[in-house]
Structure 1
Amino acid sequence: MGGSAEGSGERTRSQARVVEEVVDTDRYPLDDPGGPTLTGVVDRARRELREQGCTVLADFIRPALQDALRAEGAAVAPQAHYEPETVNAYNIALDADLPAEHPGRVTMVRGNAFVARDLLPAGAIIERLYTSALFQRFVADCFELPELHELADPLSGLCLNVIPPGMAHPWHFDTNEFTVSMLTQEPDGGGQFHYCPGIRTETDENLPDVAAVLAGGSDLVRHLSLRPGDLQLFKGRFALHRVDTVTGATARHSAIFAYSQRPGVIGSVERTRQLFGRVLPEHLAAAGRAVRGDTLLD
């Protein structure tokens, strides 16, 4: 019993050290979840997620680490799987049997690329944060969820999203109900985040409003400028969103922290191959076992 308690105590201290070293704990004291400061942060995040579908925790990473955060991403960005792809907002087959006026028939070029988790260096800032139990507890609290689990997927659990100059990440919906991301490198220009909070629900695709956004004639679109080190929590399953074209000579980099409400989640073979250019035995073994929480198109 004594050894177990000692081991548990050491893990707690280790997690607290990670948070202390990486997170601006004056503003975000993750190791004091019942304290007034963090309670206020969580209350604000919950309110903004309910009302706007999105919240941004500015300067979440310690300012002194922002150069290292950028450098770590820049070092692995050349390993991103880059293959521009014609897509629709639902990431379904372009020849799907849809009515002529359906927004799923609108095609766009997806020009972003991903660095898979197994190519990220051990001990990277984003890796330390992603695996922190204190960080996971904080994110779950903000989304009003009982718990979160790291994806079991060895490629997409944590990845770096790279948008080169001249390219964009076009309008789309996320597969996960919630999205956690952090800008790690700001482009010279462009690369702004646009979103339409709550444009659809679990039971209503709201096709007319989606079509209007894709046609460029909607006042539902909101704009968000992010800075390196900002943590973004977002309900991407129900919000149509995009990153517009990056301009200048510097790519836009962002870390994607992928969590699930249930353990053991692994991406599909087809989508994994599209995003990373390869699949692993884990993906083949998990094929056909996916469980969806709603009946939306995607």
Structure 2
Amino acid sequence: MSAPVIEQVVDTQTYRLDDPAVVARARAELAETGCCVLADFVRPALRGTLRAEGAAIAPDAHYDVETVNAYNIPLDADLPAGHPGEITFPRGNAFVPWDRVPPTAIIHRLYTSAEFQRFVADCFGLPAVHPLADPLAGLCLNVVRPGMSHPWHFDTNEFTVSMLTQEAEEGGVFEYCPGIRSAEAENLADVRAVLDGDTGPVRRLALRPGDLQLFKGRYSLHRVTEVRGAGQRHSAIFAYSERPGVVGSPARTRQLFGRVLPVHEQRSVRGDELLD
């Protein structure tokens, strides 16, 4: 995506992607809370287009209500007594994979933009970010229908970039526990406490369509609460990695998208030894 298209899509009067002040703000908020929301990142005049493009592909989402735990590991995994992985939830959200997102869509054009990728890397303080080599999980639309939720979980990649494209009529609130674990420590007792109902570490965000959310989702337990009312909740997930060549595991890919491709049968590139 060329710079002129960035200028068409992004509110560059507020968010010049090469503005050190914008980057410094994002870095400061990420360091403090593990999350930064750039409100109205997409020009307000394009909210209708953003919503319509998401709604057009939402029927392509893979729906499969299933029972999961926060680590997305098998429910019969051999875990010690009291491990938070023993706590399960119904997962009712669905995902539209990257290969169902038209290249002309705003979210696709942003995701593949070299300028946008440079901005994301700068905000996270990284030398570079790379789109996933995963043809399904690289870019996807998360769809949560009324009566459903996206329960507590950790992200597979180290950091997450997302954008709400359609808000729920009621509910559908993003909640997270910043830095509840690290690459070196699972901090199981803290995770268990939240799953048991401790709201002390939990933060809540009121997101709007077109807001850009930068989030350290690998280390922050998070969820989307139950959606209520008539409308669905849609959010685009821009999956990048510090390393090229990252793909999801076959088990996780089938869980999310209902299918796997040959690339998923090969060894995934991963950077830590955390459970998921």
Say whether the fold is shared (TM-score over 0.5).
Answer: yes
| Per-residue deviation, residues 139-175 of structure 1 (Å, max 9, x unmatched) | 0000000001111111111110000000000000111
Aligned to 1:232: 213
User: How far apart are 1:204 and its partner, in Å?
Assistant: 1.6
| SS of alignment partner, residue 56 of structure 1 | strand
Report 1:172-251 matches (<5 A).
Answer: 172-251=153-232
1:217-258 superposed Cα distances (whole Å, 9 cap, x missing partner): 240111111000000000011101000000001000000001
Letter aligned with residue 293 of structure 1: G
- Amino acid corresponding to residue 24 of structure 1 in structure 2: D
For the pair 1:41 / 2:22, whether they are aligned, the reply is yes
* Equivalent residue, structure 2, for 1:291: 269
Decide whether the 8 Å contact of 1:18 with 1:132 is kept in 2. Answer: no
Aligned to 2:128: 147
2:247 and 2:269 in contact (8 A); partners too: no
How far off its partner does 1:292 sit? Answer: 2.6
Separation in 1, partners of 2:108, 2:164: 14
What is the Cα deviation at residue 290 of structure 1?
A: 2.1
CA distance in 1, matches of 2:186, 2:101: 36
Higher-Rg member (1/2): 1
State the distance in 2 between where 1:238 and 1:279 align. 26
Q: Kindly provide the amino acid, as one letter, of the partner of residue 233 in structure 2.
A: R
- Structural mapping, 1:43-58, within 5 Å: 43-58=24-39
Where structure 1 has 5 or more consecutive residues not aligned to the other structure, the ranges are 1-13
Distance 2:116 2:269 in 1: 26
> For the structure 1 residues 163 and 198, does the alpha-carbon distance in structure 2 shift closer, same or farther, using more than 3 Å as the test?
same
Q: Which residue of 131, 149, 157 corresponds with 1:168?
A: 149
Q: Give the TM-score taking structure 2 as reference length.
A: 0.98
Report if the CA contact (8 A) 2:16-2:22 is conserved. Answer: no
Partner Cα separation in structure 2 for residue 291 and residue 119 of structure 1: 24
TM-score w.r.t. the length of structure 1 is 0.91
- Whichever residue aligns with residue 87 of structure 2, its letter is V
Q: Which amino acid aligns with 2:194?
A: V
Contact persistence 2:246–2:270 (CA under 8 A): no
Paired residues in the alignment total: 276
1:123 offset after TM fit, Å?
A: 0.7
Between 204-213 and 237-246, report the one with greater CA deviation.
204-213
Contact preservation (8 Å) 1:150, 1:258: yes
TM-superposed deviation, 1:113: 0.2
- Aligned counterpart, 2:52: 71
* Structure 2 SS opposite 1:40: helix
Q: CA RMSD in A?
A: 1.0
Deviation, 1:280, is: 1.8
Partner SS, residue 296 of structure 1: coil
1:23 has 2:1 as partner: no
SS at match of 1:229: coil
By how many angstroms is 1:100 displaced? 1.9
Per-residue CA distance 1:60-83 (angstroms, 9 max, x = gap): 001111000000000110110000
> 2:118 maps to what in 1?
137
Partner SS state of residue 2, structure 2: helix
Distance of 2:163 and 2:117 partners within structure 1? 15
Using the alignment, how far apart are the partners of 2:93 and 2:157 within structure 1?
19
Distance (Å, rounded) in 2 between the aligned partners of 1:280 and 1:295: 24
Runs of 4+ in 1 over 4 A off after TM superposition: none
Gaps of 5+ in 2: none
